[in-house]
Structure 1
Amino acid sequence: MTRQIGLLFLLGIVLIGCKTKRTVSNNNNRENYASSSETVTVVKSKSTHEVGDSYTMPKDTGKFVRLAIESPQEYIEVFSEIAQLEMKAYGIPASITLAQGLLESGFGKGALALKTNNHFGIKCHTGWQGEYDFHDDDEKGECFRKYNHPMYSYRDHSIFLSGRSRYAFLFDLPNDDYKAWAKGLRKAGYATDRHYPQKLIGLIERYQLHKFDEAVATKGYGRSPQKNVVMASSPLVSTHTVKQGDTLYSISKRYSVSVDDLMRWNYMYDSHISVGQELTVKTQNFN
């Protein structure tokens, strides 16, 4: 009898453990952001000359983190804060970031998002040094970037838009004009779907995502009285195309930044670079 009770008790512990492992609450999702490794300073408009708050990236432990998100509303609750912080730092409307994340990732439940934590459908492109995986998209078996945590996908989305010349005109738009940004993304070639702007606008208005833009814009982040502050085309962020004979050290000297910063901004795990590779360079260190 005692042996039977002991076996039942042990079985109960195992079942509880399995249930706990399968179920990830929204609170636990949010706690994943608390582990710090990289502090990012956000900058207010040039008219105020004030430096705003700072926030931290989650520490990359090298382990793949999969968040359990069950609905669009929960997705918004989990990622709205990081979208606003990215808006403060880079000037991209939080509503646009959230709408793209919802659409491209299937609110975190799409096949690509589940296996890569890539919430924006960003492909590898020339020069990508990070992890990757293959997924059928416009063509079969295309290469997509892979991240250990979805938050790194959000940061890479900001760097991707702000570091490429074809998106530079977007940063001349008011950062609370989500309709103009949605149409501009399609014009710049972010997506081949001609209904892409309408899909983004529909998500923003259905879930009232524009309220996250308003909360940031009214505090003066990324704006000036005359013109929206342009994070991408201003001297803060630029792109260097690697030429024959370039090294990370020579590039760091040219822009007066450190090799470590160059590697961090471009998600590089070693110092190898290739001719034609585009590197994000921040000529004023606001991180």
Structure 2
Amino acid sequence: MNISKKAILLAGILLTAATGVTGQVRLTREEYIDRYKSIAVAHMERYGIPASITMAQGILESDCGNSWLSVQSNNHFGIKCKRNWTGGKVYYDDDAKGECFRSYPSVEASYHDHAEFLDSQPRYDSLFAYSSSDYKSWARGLKAAGYATAPDYAQRLVRIIEENQLFLLDQPDGERLYASRSGRRITDPEGWFADQSSVDRVATSSSAVDPDNYRVTINAHNGYNVYETNGVHYVMAKEGDTFENIGQKFRLSPRNLRKFNDLKGKTAQPMTGEVIYIERKKKRWDGNAHTHICREGETAYAVGQSYAIRTRSVEKLNRLKPGSVLEKGRQIRIK
């Protein structure tokens, strides 16, 4: 075989190989969604992160799994190394040259780390006060918390979600709803949610409520009176209640309910008559009072539950060690 024929043959082989690789690697948006939506739904049920948000971030950050970073390191969410990262690393030009990004053994590992990253970083705490069906608030919250530098990051996520009807994944039995959409176009997602949901919107109140006299019903849902203090809504646990059944009625995961109430164990359950917050508590008291006078046997947790303030915030404000029992009559700062 002469040189020119060899060159032509080699060029043909290389072109065929390149085309084959491109065909295997390049995913369409629909293929990407079908491949990873089950992971996103599972993480929504465990962490409370909307499946639509997870999918939209994966699509945007990884170009549907086709970007250099996702192909080289399975990093589908653009998460950088940070100081505490001990896993694999890859270097890539982003906001600056040669930035360190996390590298994963699999795409599934990247999805898991994304959920853990949002769940463990304090700057994202406020997002978990939003319902897992409130993708617009999640999108705005991610941008506000600094997840990405693009000024229109929230709008991009919402556009991807609505163009692909990913909000269907946020509903109970979301995968079936998404699979059976049959080309139907939902142009008003919020209206569609309202029509599909039996959950009443919780009423809002403009003023804080005295924690010693806060049993003022502002709404009712599924047999529960809904109360508010410090702008945070809660219910009173009934006999036999669990975080699982309360969560089901308010469309919140048991894990999020425990997190909202500063309970770390997976087995913790409410006691009859106990205050159960159905939103994230605040860091400070919004009312006029600046201090609380302790009762016999009170703890930072008990004070926090009375005022809808996070236990850790009460401890920080008063330089308390976790679990400290407070002396009767002691003044505790609440703002």
TM-score range, shorter chain: 0.5 to 0.7
Question: Deviation per CA, 1:6-60, whole angstroms, max 9, x where unpaired?
Answer: xxxxxxxxx9xx98xx5799xxxxxxxxxxxxxxxxxxxxxxxxxxxxxxxxxxx
What residue number does 2:70 align with? 113
Contact 1:88–1:222 (CA under 8 A) maintained in structure 2: no
What residue number does 2:42 align with? 85
Query: 1:134 aligned to 2:123?
Result: no
What residue number does 2:128 align with? 171
3-state SS of paired residue (1:140) = coil
- Structure number with greater CO (CA < 8 Å, separation at least 6) is 1
Normalised by the length of structure 2, the TM-score is: 0.49
Shift of 1:69: 4.4
3-state SS of paired residue (2:91) = strand
Aligned residues: 181
Shift of 1:221: 9.8
Distance in 2 separating the partners of 1:150 and 1:222: 33
Shift of 1:223: 3.9
Question: Deviation per CA, 1:113-148, whole angstroms, max 9, x where unpaired?
Answer: 111110000000011010010000000000000011
Match of 2:60 among 90, 94, 103: 103
Distance in 2 separating the partners of 1:221 and 1:213: 19
The percentage of counterpart residues that share the same residue type is: 41
Distance in 1 separating the partners of 2:39 and 2:92: 26
3-state SS of paired residue (1:215) = coil
Distance in 2 separating the partners of 1:171 and 1:190: 15
Contact 1:95–1:210 (CA under 8 A) maintained in structure 2: yes
Contact 1:103–1:200 (CA under 8 A) maintained in structure 2: yes
Match of 2:139 among 179, 182, 187: 182
Contact 1:182–1:200 (CA under 8 A) maintained in structure 2: yes
Name the CA shift for 1:156/1:222 in 2 (closer, same or farther; >3 Å).
Answer: farther
Contact 1:91–1:222 (CA under 8 A) maintained in structure 2: no
Question: Deviation per CA, 1:179-226, whole angstroms, max 9, x where unpaired?
Answer: 0100010111111111000000000000110111113588x8994545
Task: Kindly provide the amino acid, as one letter, of the partner of residue 208 in structure 1.
Answer: Q
What residue number does 2:148 align with? 191
Trace 1:238-249 onto structure 2 (pairs within 5 A): none
What residue number does 1:31 align with? none
What residue number does 2:193 align with? none
Name the CA shift for 1:228/1:105 in 2 (closer, same or farther; >3 Å).
Answer: same
Structure 1 residues not aligned, in runs of 5+: 1-14, 26-66, 238-287
Task: Kindly provide the amino acid, as one letter, of the partner of residue 117 in structure 2.
Answer: F
Contact 1:105–1:118 (CA under 8 A) maintained in structure 2: yes
